[in-house]
Structure 1
Amino acid sequence: MTHGSDMDETAKDWTEDVLGAGFEARTLRLPGGAEATLVRYVPEDGPGAGRPPVLYVHGYTDYFFQRHLAEAVAGRGYPFYAIDLRAHGRSIDAWTATGGDANMVNDLRLYEQDLDAAAEAIAADGHAGLVLLGHSTGGLIASLYADARPDRVTALVLNSPWFDLRGSWSDRSLVTQAVYVLGRIAPRTVVNKPGEDYGRALHQATGGEWDYDLRWKPHGGFPVQAGWLATIRRGHRQIGRGLAVRCPVLVCTSDTTGPDGGEAAVMLSTDAVLDVAHMHARAPKVGTAVDVAVIEGGAHDLVLSPRPAREKYLTTVLDWLDATT
């Protein structure tokens, strides 16, 4: 992969973001005609100075909409940015217009281009260093990027990172072998469709606390394709073999693995998407200086947990950053 991106090819103008006042966005032009979208938070009292910027990397069936995360991070003096990766959220239309499918890529290494472009744009804003804050699939992507770009990443924070599939070892092995074969011969074959209970528990329209665009984050997610799951499994294999991330790492998880469907109260107080035990088992494999924090009563996306779990998560992350950066 090419290290870096051509800034001359990057749209340079910031415009008001869909989140409205206080948020701005710019398009990142990527090799091959793809696009990602960089969002920045511009608080009324100005950006932080002297502390490394934080770049949020969302998960699967996801995009950046968590205003309160930006406000909390900036409130501690860290400039806040978020990226909507290619094929996600603000970047979906550009991807599907060229024949791609929402949220689907067949090579996780493509996201090095997205994050390189984001890192260069953030540096051009006058900031030094880079804290990556990755959730779920974004946690996997951010971990692999920190391993590939040790000179760029100051610290790595992982919110319920996707380090393995749920299920027994035999089930995971069978799925993996199947998607490796299908990923080569029929990468667009749909192999799974996520359930809707977790999404419904989150969204205001179905009794949840959060308002976001259901075109970009539908309750039932997007159809999972073989080619995408195959590259995810290759990423999991890299984690299992061990990375060599040199910067400090914080892995945050819920205290409990929940069922993948059920009542909203259960969906929001456990990790109803991934297996917490897998995160704990693989966290030490990410780097040489890894801390693990367990958030009691946390949801899969810890920052969307009900109070007091989400305040505990935010305080844990920001206190850790204060101590390590």
Structure 2
Amino acid sequence: MAGSRGWAADILGEGFQQRTLTLEPDDEGDVVATLVRYRMPPLEQLSEFLLPDVADGIDVLYVHGWSDYFFQRHFARFWARLGARFYALDLRKYGRSLRPHQTPGYVDDLRTYDEDIEVALAVMGHGPDDHATGRRNRRRLVLLGHSTGGLTLSLWAARNQDRVAGLVLNSPWLEFQARQLGRLAIAPLVQAGSRIDPRAQLPAVDLGFYTRSVSSTMDGAWDYDFAWRPLHGFPLHPGWLNAILRGHRLVDAGLQLRVPALTLLSARSVLLPRWNDAMMRSDTALDVDAVAERALDLGETVTIVRLDGALHDVFLSEEAVRRRAFEQIVTWARGYLAAPPNADR
């Protein structure tokens, strides 16, 4: 039976705690997810930059992308300064949740993550039983997803709209890099591969350019664990890629979200086989024009922001770009997340 253990100190230091979430075993054995929370230390609460009215009464859940995990301290602090309670989820077989016996990042259906998300939400006070019985936490839920996490959360939100107040997507992987025609062409081959040998290793496609742009060991500014976020990413497998393409197909058909969605993207992509200095100010993972077009299929209220100079993870971009992204979130939150009258805090 899925469940969770108590809170313990997290690797990110002061203000951060983690909680192991025990999930149902799969064909590789024991499985866990890891929930991280941030509580602002008392001295930071005296900051002149606090804007607690913006996200007062809101709980935020962040989900990372492929070959990734949560390490962005500044992102948690930003939401805390807006008045939100911030949580981040390392999904099964990623980051804090990855175990030696597991195939990193592997699932063959994105709905598998429903269990990870539900156990995390139960800890946060947003479980389905609370909602159904009227004991529901009066705080509102905002979902934040980066890249593959953005795809996963968009699909989950479409199935659970009455539990979500808003969706913030950071370069969400909503469409295949070769766009719709490329996706339709490759899908039958991937489906066949997933039936024959779902964990077969596919040719590597990550040339390490994104890592070069973000890691402090290269041209970037950020420190993180290469065991959890490898130079060339995790190996790719047909079963996993088939799950991604199914997710893309669902978005293409239209998710009909009624909740407001904010999509943050770089102004441009640079998808080349050799390093180019423009990669320091571009998305090197996705075709952002294709993603911007596909984001319109999310639902009825979609805001798309294109940020000049942004990287694939907008919040790992240079400071000026991050500042513009934060300003866009504040503007969007004030417009779409304003607390209803007499809402419980």
Global fold match (TM > 0.5): yes
**1:258 aligned onto 2:255:** no
Residues 63-102 of structure 1 aligned to structure 2 (within 5 Å): 63-93=69-99, 96-97=100-101, 100-102=102-104
Partner of 2:116: 114
Task: Please list the CA deviations of residues 159-210 of structure 1 after superposition, one character each: whole Å capped at 9, or x if unmatched.
Answer: 1110111126554333222111101111011223221111122111123100
Aligned amino acid, residue 35 of structure 2: L
TM-score in terms of structure 1 length? 0.91
Partner of 1:213: 225
Cα distance between partner residues in 2 of 1:144 and 1:116? 14
Whether the aligned pair in 2 keeps the contact of 1:260 and 1:273 (CA below 8 Å) is no
Partner of 2:62: 56
Shift of 1:63: 0.4
2:246 pairs with 234, 242, 249, which one? 234
- Which consecutive residues of structure 1, in runs of 5 or more, have no partner in the other structure? 1-5
Secondary structure (helix, strand or coil) at the match of 2:296 reads helix
Whether the aligned pair in 2 keeps the contact of 1:28 and 1:35 (CA below 8 Å) is yes
**1:36 aligned onto 2:38:** no
Whether the aligned pair in 1 keeps the contact of 2:56 and 2:82 (CA below 8 Å) is no
The percentage of counterpart residues that share the same residue type is: 39
Cα distance between partner residues in 2 of 1:124 and 1:275? 34
Task: Please list the CA deviations of residues 62-99 of structure 1 after superposition, one character each: whole Å capped at 9, or x if unmatched.
Answer: 00000010111111111111000001100011xx43xx
Shift of 1:37: 0.4
Partner of 2:333: 321
Whether the aligned pair in 2 keeps the contact of 1:192 and 1:225 (CA below 8 Å) is no
Shift of 1:150: 1.2
Whether the aligned pair in 2 keeps the contact of 1:25 and 1:38 (CA below 8 Å) is yes
CA 1:289–1:170: 2 relative to 1, 3 Å: closer
Partner of 2:133: none
Bigger CA radius of gyration: 2
Task: Please list the CA deviations of residues 97-145 of structure 1 after superposition, one character each: whole Å capped at 9, or x if unmatched.
Answer: 3xx3001111110111111111111117967221001010011001001
CA 1:28–1:76: 2 relative to 1, 3 Å: same
Whether the aligned pair in 2 keeps the contact of 1:201 and 1:264 (CA below 8 Å) is no
Secondary structure (helix, strand or coil) at the match of 1:176 reads helix
Cα distance between partner residues in 2 of 1:111 and 1:128? 23
Partner of 2:343: none
Give the CA RMSD over aligned residues: 2.0
Secondary structure (helix, strand or coil) at the match of 2:331 reads helix
Shift of 1:282: 1.1
Whether the aligned pair in 2 keeps the contact of 1:255 and 1:295 (CA below 8 Å) is yes
Cα distance between partner residues in 2 of 1:171 and 1:216? 30
Aligned amino acid, residue 135 of structure 1: H
Whether the aligned pair in 2 keeps the contact of 1:201 and 1:268 (CA below 8 Å) is yes
Partner of 1:3: none
CA 1:261–1:76: 2 relative to 1, 3 Å: farther
Partner of 1:299: 311
Cα distance between partner residues in 1 of 2:124 and 2:180? 41
Shift of 1:261: 4.9
Cα distance between partner residues in 2 of 1:20 and 1:143? 30
Cα distance between partner residues in 2 of 1:84 and 1:252? 21
Aligned residues: 314
Cα distance between partner residues in 1 of 2:98 and 2:299? 32
Cα distance between partner residues in 1 of 2:323 and 2:286? 21
Cα distance between partner residues in 1 of 2:297 and 2:245? 16
